[in-house]
Amino acid sequence: MAKASRNHTIRPPRWTNGQDWASIIDMASAEVIRAEAATGNRVSAIGEALRFVQMSGVFYCPSILSEPWGLELPAMDDTVWFHALTSGHATIEVEGEVRSVLPGDLVLAPHGNGHRAWGRETAPTPLVFELPHEEINEHYAILRHGGGGDVTNIVCGGIRFDHPAARQLVASLPAVIHIEASKSTRSDWMRATIDLMAEETRTLAPGSEAVVSRLCDIVVIQAIRTWIERDPAAQTGWLGALRDEQIGTAIARIHAEPERDWSVASLADEVAMSRSAFAARFTELVGESAMRYVTRWRMHVALDILRRTDQTIAATAAQVGYDSEASFSRAFKRVVGESPRNARAA
């Protein structure tokens, strides 16, 4: 591990691309598949959606906090904040929801909302980026803060998702997700993962930085899939549609092959439904027509391509099923609100 720098204030995380923990995400997706298979349910498009949850950036900060302590994390667009408590006690408030957090618990603020955290005693909550810390590198810092009393250890951090499937999945989540260790089943490996995270952050052995980074990815994916499995709110809306045997399959086909010449009839054929029954059920579950969903999905995929690569607009149009760059550009502006060229420059 690189030698830590002197103490100074935390800078807002500088996100970088290129970190793709596909193998770890596949592990989390496999957990969903196993969970559904165990209950005799058909594997839905939920696993497919999780497969696209690939982190484009991560910033994490093992924090040693002594009573009394408090801190505030700012709102950050397109960021999922997470807090994994390894020892002690914390209270976290997100959008007016106050959660008491115990060892082994994990709390997510999926929409990047600003929030506060404190210990057993009330204390001021200064902005976390203004507190002294040890910077290991641009993605990893260690925070020591508080009044010198009983210690709480918590790993805090933020991650970003770039793929449109991941962004839609995150947008479907509530303002706060709290996974409580006390309510985990014996087969749930959340606590084991957090325990390993605690060990790695305590020892700071060679390679700990890489291990903790990957563990952060794992616990976030675990939290999302646990909420999907257990919370009734995940049975409605887009997530509910993904669970539907026929509509979920159709959505998975659209996601996998945005370039296909989809129509209501061809999608209905894919799932052995009549055209009229498919169109009505898709709109009922998803909240928009099948073809509008196809167009919106294609534009989100195109936006991702334009921002990640230097591929030409014409090639991008072809990749999402458009023969004409002009017709693609019109559809893109209608959905995204700006031209492909401007969106790439943003």
Q: Where exactly are the structural domains of the chain?
A: 7-231, 244-345
Residue 324 DSSP symbol:
-
* Chosen CATH of 7-231 out of 2.60.120.280, 2.120.10.80, 3.30.2320.30, 2.60.40.1730: 2.60.120.280
Distance CA 7, CA 73 (A): 19
Q: Do domains 7-231 and 244-345 have the same CATH topology?
A: no
pLDDT confidence of residue 16: 40
pLDDT of res. 46: 67
Is residue 254 within 8 A of residue 317, CB to CB? The reply is no
**Residue 59 corresponds to which amino acid?**
F
pLDDT computed for residue 2 by the predictor: 38
Sequential pLDDT tens for the chain (346 residues): 334 444 555 555 544 443 333 333 344 444 444 444 343 333 456 666 666 665 666 778 889 999 999 999 999 888 899 999 989 999 999 999 999 999 989 999 999 999 999 999 889 999 998 999 888 777 788 899 999 999 999 989 888 876 777 778 888 899 999 988 887 664 467 777 877 877 777 776 777 777 777 787 778 887 888 888 788 888 888 888 888 889 999 998 998 899 999 999 999 999 999 999 999 999 999 999 999 999 999 999 999 899 889 999 999 999 999 999 999 999 999 999 999 999 998 7
State the pLDDT at residue 15: 43
Buried b (16+ CB within 10 A) or exposed e, 192-205: ebbebbbebbeeee
Residue type at position 300:
H
Reference 195, options 106, 285, 309, 327; nearest CA is 106
Q: What is the CATH number of domain 244-345?
A: 1.10.10.60
Q: For 344, how many CA atoms within 13 A lie in the half-sphere containing its CB?
A: 14
The strands making up 80-87's β-sheet, listed across from edge to edge, are 7-9, 132-137, 140-146, 55-66, 151-161, 80-87, 106-109, 177-179
pLDDT of the residue at 12 = 54
How crowded is the C-beta side of 154, counted as CA atoms within 13 Å? 30
